């Protein structure tokens, strides 16, 4: 074995998604406070927390959209801005990543395909995958919230990334759409891809996620497999979540 090969073999593979002491302050407000967690490949990791827990800010730091005050947000061991092909490495759906309302779904995907180097046939494939083929030439401004979410997912998957970072991807989807999303994400994880998604729908999260990272007030309160987290809790993920975040409801008498 050559020296270079020995060195490569001795170096562990980079974790797909990692936060190291991630901190973000907005003036006197600390939105994210020394947050550290890892996200493995081949699994769906839920990023959970009460409203205002710092979830969206954390995801924005991972994607290079917000600069950390301290710590590091890493994708495959690098800052997002240092990735050679970021759109092929990571697909993302955030609240502020919507298509221009005057642009058709097809043209929206065409622009992103050119930016990310995706072949034209991927546009048709993603429109079909997300159930938007019949609406491909409608303007995004005419779409319902659920259709906009589907277009966001089509955009995220367009360049065939190995990592998906999704902020509330089920928001606006009807029950059939939520079920479709669950099967889609499970299939992607089964292919060995990395999925990190935030959600406030705990019942759906319990059916979808393999691992869970829970934050509260910007800090990590739990990181475990779903089975580990829910062991000993009569009401599963909901019970564990409420107890860990200090929001256990009073039982009516």
Domain boundaries, the chain: 15-244
pTM of the entire structure? Answer: 0.90
pLDDT at 10 over 50: no
The model's pLDDT over 135-162, given as tens digits with 9 standing for 90+, comes to 999 999 999 999 999 999 999 999 999 9
**Confidence at residue 248, expressed as pLDDT on a 0 to 100 scale:** 57
**Confidence at residue 6, expressed as pLDDT on a 0 to 100 scale:** 40
Distance CA 103, CA 252 (A): 51
The model's pLDDT over 13-58, given as tens digits with 9 standing for 90+, comes to 679 999 999 999 999 999 999 999 999 999 999 999 999 999 999 9
The CATH number of 15-244 is: 3.40.50.300
Q: Summarize the confidence of residues 72-84 as an average pLDDT.
A: 96
One-letter-per-residue 3-state SS of the chain? CCHHHHHHHHCCCCCCEEEEEEEEEECCEEEEEEEEEEECCCEEEEEECCCCCCHHHHHHHHCCCCCCCEEEEEECCECHHHCCCHHHHEEEECCCCCCCCCCEHHHHHHHHHHHHCCCCHHHHHHHHHCCCHHHCCCEHHHCCHHHHHHHHHHHHHCCCCCEEEEECCCCCCCHHHHHHHHHHHHHHHHCCCEEEEECCCHHHHHHHCCEEEEEECCEEEEEEEHHHHHCCCCCHHHHHHHHHCCCCCCCCC
């Amino acid at each position: 074995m050559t020296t270079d090969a020995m060195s490569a073999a001795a170096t562990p593979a980079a974790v797909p998604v990692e936060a190291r002491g991630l901190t973000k302050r907005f003036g006197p407000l600390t939105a994210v406070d020394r947050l550290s967690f890892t996200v493995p490949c081949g699994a769906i990791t839920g990023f959970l927390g009460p409203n205002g827990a710092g979830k969206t800010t954390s995801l924005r730091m991972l994607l290079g959209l917000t600069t950390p005050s301290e710590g590091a947000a890493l994708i495959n061991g690098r800052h997002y801005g240092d990735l050679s092909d970021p759109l092929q490495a990571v697909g993302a759906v955030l609240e502020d990543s919507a298509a221009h309302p005057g642009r058709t779904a097809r043209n929206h995907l065409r622009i992103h395909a050119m930016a990310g180097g995706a072949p034209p046939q991927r546009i048709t494939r993603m429109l079909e995958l997300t159930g938007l083929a019949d609406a491909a030439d409608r303007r995004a401004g005419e779409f319902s919230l659920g259709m906009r979410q589907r277009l966001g997912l089509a955009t995220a998957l367009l360049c065939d990334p190995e990592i998906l970072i999704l902020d509330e991807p089920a928001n606006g989807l009807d029950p059939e759409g939520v079920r479709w999303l669950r099967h889609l994400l499970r299939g992607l994880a089964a292919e060995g891809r990395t999925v990190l998604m935030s959600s406030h729908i705990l019942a759906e999260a319990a059916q979808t996620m393999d691992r869970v990272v829970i934050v509260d007030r910007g800090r990590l309160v739990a990181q475990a497999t779903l089975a580990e987290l829910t062991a000993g809790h009569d009401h599963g993920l909901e019970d564990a979540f409420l107890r860990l975040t200090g929001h256990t409801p009073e039982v009516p008498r």
